[in-house]
Structures are given as structure tokens and as C-alpha cells.
Structure 1
Amino acid sequence: MIEGIGEAVVRRPQAILDFVTDLEQYKLADHKIGRVHECVRDDDRILMRHGGRLRGIPGPAVSLEVVVGGLSVRYRSIPTFPSRYVLTFDGGFELSETPDGTRVVHTERFHFFAPWRFVAEPYLRSWLAADVAGEMVRLKQLLESESSR
């Protein structure tokens, strides 16, 4: 398993939840997300399917289940062909109020299956950590630049 964790303090709490649950918008911050194939919302549960890239390498389309609850967003991959033979992933966003704004902690975990694990995890480990940290910088910039318009 490899993991990336990033955090930022943003001054717009509801905008954060709206932004991270809209893949078409969120891919402006998360450059791993490719073409969005499907997004179906049912109350606080969202089913999504999208393509993507890890360190510039395209991967199979993945399906996700996203659950929004209070000040958190949790997601996990749903095993589908062909991704079910390559990887699963999970993560989320935890928001908490601070005197300076809303603290957002974002976690991404990728679990690769053998034989992919032996190549992918060493190749992606440090890149993922840096990418998720950069993703949070972009999230903050995008949301705070919107509030100044």
C-alpha cells in the first residue's frame, strides 16, 4: 500500500465539500483524474467512474463510491474490470474548523495487487506523497481565487 496525505486551510467550508464531490471541477486540483465517464448522485452517496493517470501513466477506468457525511467525504474504489486486477484505492477529506478557516486533510491510499505491486509501489510512493500535497495547494488556490471574484 502507498499513501499520500496533504492539508490546507481554506476560508470556504461549504465550497470545499461541493468542489471535492464534483469530479469535473475537482480534476482542476487533482491531475490524476482523467475523463469523467459517469457521476450519479443519490442524496449523500455518489457513484463515479473516471479514467486517470498515475505519474503520467494511464490506467484503467475506475469506479468509486463517495459518501458525504457532515464535514467529511469518504471514497473507495468499486472492483470493476479491468481495474479489479490491478488496484483498489480509498481515501477522503476531513474538515475541521480553526480560527484561520477550515482545515482540510486529504488522504489517498492505493493498494496494488501482485505482480503490479512490486513495480508500482516503489515507483509511485514518493510521487504520490508530493502529488497529494500539491493537490491541496491547488485546491486552496482555486477555492480562494473564486471567493475574490
Structure 2
Amino acid sequence: MDDIDSKILGLLRENGRITFGALGSMVGLSTNAAAARVRKLERSGVILGYRAVIADDAPDARLHGVGLEAFIDVRLRPDSDSDAFLAFVEDLSPVRDAVHVTGPYDYLLHVVVGDTEHLDALLRRLKTEAGAAQTQTRLALRVPR
């Protein structure tokens, strides 16, 4: 892999639907050469696939005006298993990060949800399905980018 391949990967990360023509012109290749490079990256396993990123699932959903970014402190019930909790929250699409912390709470979750209704549903799931005894939520008002 060379610098051109790296540039191609960066452009595909930003826009997986970019045309080979546009991709080629941005990295200094012809349409056919850009297509050949992408196919080579796919065959070699560097590019595993393409997917749609839905606004509510995007880490930068707030930038699109469709999400709330929040931080949730979670205290587990005494009978809850920490590893089971972590496995549960890692499978939830709104959860961007989950860290085990010291202090009065067990975990700090960084989440991005569509709106307060989605946040409420997430908090309910944490308490009814994941073993959370108590939560404290803080909304991000401004996020430096």
C-alpha cells in the first residue's frame, strides 16, 4: 500500500459512494486506474465492505442536527455482573464508549441518541435489562470539533 492507496482509503471513509472518476481526479489517477486500485484494496481485504451510516447511529449525529450527545454515569445493582453489563452496552448502537470508572458510579457511557425519547428508552433499557441501579445523565451542550 502506498500514499495514493492511503488517500483513496481516506476519501472512501468520507464518502463510500464517490465515483471512480471523482476519486481518480482527487488522487491524480484516471477513472480506470482509480477503479483498479479500489478493486485491489477490496481483493486484498483492506476494504471489507461499504455501509450506510444512519444519522441516529453516526458519532457526529449532533452535527447533522438530529441527535443529542450525552454522558451517562451508571451504578450497577449489587447482583449485576460487570462483564455482562459491558457486553450488553457494547451492542447498543447509541453507545459510543463505555468506561469502567472509580468513584460512586461503576461506568461512564458516552452516547448519541436521536432525541429525548430515544434517551429515555435507552435509560429504561439500562435499568430493566442491563442491571443498572441508578443513572445520572449529562447532556453535551457544545462539543469542540
With normalisation by structure 2, the TM-score equals 0.31
Higher RCO structure (Cα 8 Å, ≥6 apart): 1
| Structure with greater strand percent | 1
Pick the structure with more helix per residue.
2
